[in-house]
């Protein structure tokens, strides 16, 4: 399996996030990707290469120009407020919820942060743009390699992407790497692409990007949004809209779901994907479903991740795996690489 990795991810290093009224150390930290790349190399799963940079135009296939402009300049705008801001991460504090206008971009930096975000748990840092951009490069390169004949590829991206929408960040995510990979496959000649999102959290950004389209099937297994982040999307009755009706499948599971329940949902997901008969598959690979994850509640064991990879491999589809969540840092490498190894043995 060919892996795409860019060490610039390490430049996105949030200091703290706001959690239950307190500033706590960020869960989404550089060590996550460092440990995965080390385990991938240790197990000799394949070559690890640095991606070529993709054009801004390919990011604009998914994200709006004004959001990309905001994101690229946000850190400089933050510094322009006060040079002392260099020592602090930027957070939004006000949002245009129902009845407020989101069609006019305010001049005020905090107000623009709120316009382009969904939560206060996602620090924007000096290295956020470079990390997000080089992560997106990994994802698009991983998709492109499938078009060149690779059977399985891995985009070792950080920060994650599946909560990011066309024009907002949140849930630790800034650019939607999985969506960019799927769109690149289509732009390069694939007719249909499926995205399987197995991160613990619902991929609200990915769902919303493709909700009205039938050329991308989105299937997600996740913690029930009644109790789990991102709370406001991910219910089973969200099945797509317009041309996209029938091309969105959510499989929410209650807190504490067992491996048996999780694998039953995976079977449902795989049956739907097989019937869609896509040309390629993108997997949003989060391992925060592991029993020991500090911010999640499922109970998968490390060996289960091998079985997940095998089941995905049996689909017989070219697949680009895009790294998302997983916060139990000690185990993260083993769990991620288990999925990839399982895929390799079955594909």
Nearer to Zn ion, 200 or 290 (CB): 200
Verify binding: residue 199, ligand OKP, rule CB under 6 A. Answer: yes
Q: Does 121 bind ligand OKP (CB under 6 A)?
A: yes
Cα dihedral sign, 17-18-23-24 = negative
Instruction: Report in angstroms how near the CB of residue 211 gets to Zn ion at its nearest.
Output: 20
CB of 73 vs Zn ion, minimal distance in Å: 28
Which option in ligand OKP, Zn ion, none does residue 210 bind, with CB closer than 5 to 8 A by kind?
Answer: none
Q: Which is nearer to Zn ion, 34 or 293 (CB)?
A: 293
Residue 201 in contact with ligand OKP, rule: CB under 6 A: yes
**What residues does 201 pair with on adjacent strands?**
none
Of ligand OKP, Zn ion, none, which one does residue 32 interact with (CB within 5 to 8 Å by kind)?
Answer: none
Closest contact distance (angstroms) between CB of 20 and ligand OKP is 8
Closest to Zn ion by CB, 119 vs 288, is 288
Nearer to ligand OKP by C-beta: 196 or 347?
196
Residue closer to ligand OKP (CB basis): 173 or 315: 173
Is residue 19 close enough to count as binding ligand OKP by CB under 6 A?
yes
266 within 8 A of 289, measured Cβ to Cβ: no
Contacts to ligand OKP from residues 217-246, by CB under 6 A:
229
Q: Name the minimum Å distance from CB 182 to Zn ion.
A: 19
Q: Is 144 a catalytic residue?
A: no
Which position among 144, 163, 184, 202 bears the catalytic label?
A: 163
Residue 160 binds which one of Zn ion, ligand OKP, none, with CB within 5 to 8 A depending on kind?
ligand OKP
**Least distance CB 160 / ligand OKP (angstroms):** 5
Binding site for Zn ion (CB under 5 A): 199-201, 286, 288, 325
Which of Zn ion, ligand OKP, none does residue 172 bind to, with CB < 5 to 8 Å depending on kind? ligand OKP
Is residue 69 classed as helix, strand or coil in its secondary structure?
helix
Shortest distance (Å) from residue 173 CB to ligand OKP: 7
Task: Label each residue of the chain as H, E or C.
Answer: CEEEECHHHHHCCCCEEEECCEEEECCCCCHHHHHHHHHHHHCCCCCEECCCCCCHHHHCCCCCHHHHHHHHHHHHHHHHHCHHHHHCCECCCCCCCCCCCCCCCCCCHHHHHHHCECCCCCCECCCHHHHHHHHHHHHHHHHHHHHCCCCEEEEECCCCCCCCECCEEECCECCCHHHHHHHHHHHCCCCCEEEEECCCCCCHHHHHHHCCCCCEEEEEEEECCCCCCCCCCCCCCCCCCHHHCCCEEEEEECCCCCHHHHHHHHHHHHHHHHHHCCCEEEEEECCCCECCCCCCCCCECHHHHHHHHHHHHCCCCCEEEEECCCCCHHHHHHHHHHHHHHHHHHC
Residue 43 in 3-state DSSP?
Answer: coil
Q: Which of residues 260-299 bind ligand OKP (CB under 6 A)?
A: 286, 288, 295
Is residue 159 a contact point for ligand OKP (CB under 6 A)?
no
The verdict on 197 binding ligand OKP (CB under 6 A) reads no
Which spans of this chain sit near ligand OKP (rule: CB under 6 A)?
17, 19, 27, 121, 160, 163, 171-172, 199, 201, 229, 286, 288, 295, 324-325
- Residues serving a catalytic function are 163
């Amino acid at each position: 399996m060919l892996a795409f990795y860019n060490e610039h991810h390490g430049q996105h290093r949030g200091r703290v996030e706001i959690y239950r009224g307190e500033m706590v150390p960020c869960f989404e930290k550089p060590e996550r990707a460092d440990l995965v790349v080390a385990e991938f190399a240790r197990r000799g799963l394949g070559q690890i290469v640095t991606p070529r940079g993709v054009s801004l135009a390919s990011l604009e296939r998914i994200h709006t120009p004004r959001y990309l402009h905001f994101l690229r300049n946000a850190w400089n705008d933050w510094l322009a407020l006060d040079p002392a801001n260099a020592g602090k991460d930027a957070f939004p504090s006000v949002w245009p919820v129902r009845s407020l206008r989101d069609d006019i971009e305010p001049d005020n930096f905090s107000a623009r942060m709120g316009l382009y975000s969904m939560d206060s748990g996602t620090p924007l840092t000096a290295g956020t743009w470079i990390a997000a951009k080089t992560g997106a490069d990994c994802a698009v390169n991983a998709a492109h390699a499938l078009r060149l004949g690779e059977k399985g590829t891995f985009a070792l991206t950080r920060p994650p992407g599946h909560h990011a929408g066309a024009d907002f960040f949140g849930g630790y995510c800034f650019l939607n790497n999985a969506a960019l990979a799927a769109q690149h496959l289509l732009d390069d000649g694939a007719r249909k692409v499926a995205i399987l999102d197995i991160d613990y959290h619902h991929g609200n950004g990915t769902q919303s990007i493709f909700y009205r389209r039938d050329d991308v099937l989105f299937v997600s297994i996740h913690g029930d949004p009644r109790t789990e982040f991102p709370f406001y999307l991910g219910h089973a009755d969200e099945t797509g809209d317009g041309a996209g009706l029938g091309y969105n499948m959510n499989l929410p599971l209650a807190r504490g779901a067992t491996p048996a329940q999780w694998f039953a949902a995976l079977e449902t997901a795989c049956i739907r994907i097989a019937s869609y008969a896509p040309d390629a598959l993108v997997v949003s690979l989060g391992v925060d479903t592991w029993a020991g994850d500090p911010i999640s509640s499922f109970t998968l064991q490390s060996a289960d991740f091998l079985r997940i990879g095998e089941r995905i491999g049996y689909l017989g589809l070219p697949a680009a795996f895009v790294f998302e969540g997983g916060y139990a840092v000690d185990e993260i490498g083993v769990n991620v690489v288990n999925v990839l190894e399982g895929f390799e043995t079955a594909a």
